[in-house]
Amino acid sequence: MKSISKLKKELDKWFSLFIRLRNATSEGLVQCITSGRTYHYKNIHAGHFISRRHLATRWCELNVSPQSAADNLFGQGEQYKFGLALDNKYGEGTAEELQYKSRQTIKMSRIDYEEKISYYKDLVEKLKKEKGIE
């Protein structure tokens, strides 16, 4: 039986792949939310607007977007630009709503993790098939 920390790591992997593929073209290209530069989905991060340490928004699809390693790691996530881009993409107030949501406490069970892993794993396979990319 996998530990909760192993399940969390596996969910991170599938969720990250989903985020990058969801935004990818049929050539596998995706745009960084903060710089606008284009990368192959395998060479870009799934950047979090609100830090991953907040479980309430860690796997929230609105909170996570493709982001270059430069902006995500070395630019500390470019949070201000990220917030502006989220409001632009999903509507005014999105960044603020995510900040509010991040303060909520959630408790995830083993089953919650397993269900989310299965859900995102299926979505990744579906997206790869739909877009014809590996």
CA separation for the pair 73, 65 (Å, rounded): 14
Q: How many domains does the chain have?
A: 1
Instruction: Supply the pLDDT for residue 77.
Output: 61
Give the per-residue pLDDT at 66: 96
Please check whether residue 132 lies inside any domain of the structure.
no
Angle between helices 4-22 and 110-131 (to 10 degrees): 30
Determine the pLDDT at residue 55: 95
Is 131 within the bounds of a domain?
A: no
Domain that holds residue 23: 4-125
pLDDT of residue 78: 82
Residues of the chain with pLDDT under 50: none
Give residue-wise pLDDT tens across range 99-124.
Answer: 999 999 999 999 999 999 999 999 99
Residue 51: how many CB atoms within 10 A of its CB?
12
